[in-house]
Amino acid sequence: MEKQRLDKIIASTGRWSRREVKELARRGLVMVDGLAIRGVEEKFDPAVSEITVNGETLCYRRYTWLMLNKPAGYLSATEDGRGKTVLDLLPQELRRLELFPVGRLDKDTEGLLLLTNDGVLAHNLLSPKRHVDKVYYARTAGRLTEEDCRAFAQGLLLNDGLACRPAGLELLSVGEESEVLVTLREGKFHQVKRMLAARGAPVLYLERVQMGNLPLDRALPRGSFRFLTEEEIAELRSLV
Ligand code: URA
Candidates 76, 78, 97; CA nearest to 208 is 76
Between strands 43-44 and 4-5, the pairing is antiparallel
Mention every residue, 6+ apart, whose C-beta is less than 8 A from residue 104.
76, 77, 187
Q: What is the pLDDT of residues 118-136, one digit of tens each?
A: 999 999 998 878 889 999 9
Cβ neighbours for 38, distance < 8 A, ≥ 6 positions apart: 25, 26, 28, 30
Distance CA(51)–CA(104), nearest Å, equals 36
* Residue nearest atom 3 of ligand 1, based on CA coordinates: 190
**pTM of structure:** 0.83
Q: What's the confidence (pLDDT) of residue 211?
A: 95
Identify which of 109, 195, 209 to mutate to test ligand 1's pocket (most ligand atoms within 8 A of the CB): 109
Q: Taking each helix axis as running N to C, give the angle between helix 230-239 and helix 119-126, from 0 to 180 degrees, rounded to the nearest 10.
A: 50
Is 106 marked active-site?
yes
Looking at ligand 1, which atom is closest to the CA of residue 190?
3
Contacts of 189 (CB under 8 A, 6+ apart): none
Model pLDDT, residue 50: 92
The DSSP symbol for 130 reads: G
- Name the pLDDT band for 58 (thresholds 50, 70, 90): confident
Beta strand pairing status for 110-116 and 100-101?
Answer: antiparallel
Mutate to test the pocket of ligand 1, among 68, 70, 76, 105 (most ligand atoms within 8 A of CB): 105
For the chain, which domains are there? 4-57 (3.10.290.10), 65-128+214-239 (3.30.70.580), 133-211 (3.30.70.1560)
Q: What is the largest CA-CA distance in the chain?
A: 68
pLDDT of residue 88: 95
For the residues of 76-125, what is the DSSP string, one character each? SSS--TTS-BGGGGS-HHHHTT--EESS---TT-EEEEEEES-HHHHHHH
State whether the beta carbon of 89 lies less than 6 angstroms from ligand 1: no
Q: What is the pLDDT at residue 93?
A: 73
- pLDDT band (50, 70, 90) for residue 83: confident
Question: Model confidence over 140-180: pLDDT tens digits?
Answer: 999 999 999 999 999 999 999 999 999 999 999 999 999 99
Name the more confident of 230 and 117.
117
Atom of ligand 1 nearest to the CA of 109: 6
Q: Is the CB of 192 under 6 A from ligand 1?
A: yes
Is 112 close to ligand 1, i.e. is its CB under 6 Å away?
no
User: Which candidate in 33, 88, 106, 160 is catalytic?
Assistant: 106
